[in-house]
Structure 1
Amino acid sequence: MPKGGFPGMGGGNMNNLLKQAQKMQKQMEDMQKDLETKNYEASVGGGAVTAIVSGKKQLIDIKIKPEVVDPDDVEMLQDLIISACNEAMKKAEDESSEGMKKMTGGMSMPGMF
């Protein structure tokens, strides 16, 4: 076996590949930290219910307009809350996925995000 690694793979090329992988890992960590500091907001029902989630995908606030609180139609309010929360979570997930696509050039990275 030639000195410096596997046949057909120069030691310098492998070092460059490792450096690029480490750089990409650092960029992904920085991107994740940045996303975690952001808040994502979604409103449904014409603004009747607004949910705000953190980049860590935790519900941090929910706002409900008083006029949609109808004791005779609690189900509608529950549905609006679920919809607002799901939409806010989707916004957080979409931004995370978009950031990953930009970083990886569209390559699939199993086990990442």
Structure 2
Amino acid sequence: MAKGGFPGMGGGNMNNLLKQAQKFQKQMEDLQKDLEEKTFEGKAGGGAVVAVANGKKQLIDIKIDAEVVDPDDIEMLQDLILTACNAALKTAEAETANEMGKLTGGMNIPGLF
């Protein structure tokens, strides 16, 4: 075997590539941890319903203003809750995609998040 790596592979270049891959992996892990600790809000009905999701895209809280609780119109409340939840999850997804895009230079790497 040639000194510094595999024959014909340019050992120094291979080492640099490995170091870059390890650095990228560490950056990805750090970014994922940071995003998982963030929270994202979605609102509906002018803030009458607020849903909070974490960076893992899990709902962690729902706040409902007592004024929108009308026993004769449960459907409206259900719609407001769905709208707020979807807005929170969409915000979490957009933030994750934005931060990932910064790290990957806009490359779409399936399965990262």
User: For residues 100 and 6 of structure 1, do their structure 2 counterparts lie closer, same or farther at Cα, with a shift above 3 Å needed?
Assistant: farther
Residue in 1 that maps onto 2:6: 5
Matched residue of 1:112: which SS?
coil
Give the aligned residue type for 1:5.
F
User: For residues 49 and 14 of structure 1, do their structure 2 counterparts lie closer, same or farther at Cα, with a shift above 3 Å needed?
Assistant: same
The CA RMSD measured in Å over matched residues stands at 1.4
- Contiguous gaps of at least 5 residues in structure 1: none
Identity across matched positions, percent: 68
Quick check: 1:68 aligned with 2:68? yes
Residue in 1 that maps onto 2:20: 20
Matched residue of 2:57: which SS?
coil
TM-score of the two chains, using structure 2 as the length reference: 0.90
- Contiguous gaps of at least 5 residues in structure 2: none
Deviation of 1:73 after TM superposition, in Å, equals: 1.1
Q: Give the number of aligned pairs.
A: 111
Residue in 1 that maps onto 2:93: 93
Deviation of 1:112 after TM superposition, in Å, equals: 1.2
Residue in 1 that maps onto 2:59: 59
Residue in 2 that maps onto 1:47: 47
Deviations 1:50-73 (A, max 9, x none): 011112222111111111111111
Q: Post-superposition, which runs of at least 4 consecutive aligned residues in structure 1 deviate over 4 A?
A: none
Residue in 1 that maps onto 2:112: 112
